[in-house]
Structure 1
Amino acid sequence: MSQMTVSARLGRGAVAAPRPLVDARAGRRTRVQDAAPVTGHTGFLVLCLAIVLATFTAVLLLNTHRAEGSYVLSRLNVQQTELHDTKVTLEAQLAELESSESLAAEARRLKMVPSTSTATIRLSDGSLTGVASKVDGSRTLNVDLPATGVATEDE
């Protein structure tokens, strides 16, 4: 019997009671059961709620940690820029102090005069090469590097 004929016989609002069915193979009677469980879903709902809350908490903590890392990175970038500027300034000052003009001016300030003869020591055997002589303080040495790159003596 189809559902259409059952509803037509009973009327539209009436619900038919479950009828026992006979299992032809086993010879037993079976009944139709409602698929909806009788017990409540509170445990499942609590579990789902706990999972959602744990997920939101984890996302909040991760975002907070990431934002903190971003602020630290920003501060470190500012510090790196300041250190780079200091390095460039110090390198410029060092280059200026190492220049031949600066060294010559500092030597004149210290009343130094250029040497006319040189002597060297060979480190391997300790022997002396060349002859060192006393420097006459009246002679000066002018360095003309930009034009010729050759040192000349003035008397």
Structure 2
Amino acid sequence: MSAQATARVAPPAFAPRPRPEREAAPAPRLRVVRAPAQARTRVPFVLVCMAVLAAALLSALLLNTQMAQNAYQRHDLTNELARLDQDQKDLVAVLDHKSSPEELAASARRLGMVPAAGTGWVRLADGSVQGVPKASK
């Protein structure tokens, strides 16, 4: 016998087992169904996206406007600060001129004051006078 004939006669090693006979189940009834209608539309999603975009643009506009307003205020305050700084320098110059030793002596003479001839100090701890005070003429 040939190899082909032997292969036909020999049953395979993994042959399925025969199943016991069952009762025949009734065949299910099949019917055609429609595709489900789309439950949601895209309109709410589009409206939400447009609202978010509008809110972002509005907030950017408000932020830009506030920054511009702050820039104007900063410019005005810088100008005022420069003016006040110049006023302070002018007042210091006037005060320096009026408080010079020559101007101070002239003001004292106009008020009737005279220069002191000698100086003395009073010690506050015990009330004693130190130095040699002299009477003015």
TM-score band by shorter chain is 0.5 to 0.7
Q: Normalising by the residue count of structure 1, what TM-score does the alignment of the two structures yield?
A: 0.58
1:43 corresponds in structure 2 to 44
2:71 corresponds in structure 1 to 70
Tell which structure's C-alpha radius of gyration is larger: 2
Q: Normalising by the residue count of structure 2, what TM-score does the alignment of the two structures yield?
A: 0.65
Report % sequence identity: 36
More strand by share: 1
1:114 corresponds in structure 2 to 115
1:104 corresponds in structure 2 to 105
Cα deviation, 1:79-113, whole Å, max 9, x if unaligned, reads 11111011111111111122111112112222322
For structure 1, the 5+ residue unaligned runs are: 1-36, 137-155
More helix by share: 2
For structure 2, the 5+ residue unaligned runs are: 1-37
1:134 corresponds in structure 2 to 135
Distance 2:125 2:40 in 1: 100
Q: How far has the Cα of 1:38 moved from its partner?
A: 8.8
Distance 1:90 1:42 in 2: 71
Aligned residue for 1:88, secondary structure, equals: helix
1:89 corresponds in structure 2 to 90
Which of structures 1 and 2 has the larger relative contact order (alpha carbons within 8 angstroms, sep 6+)? 2
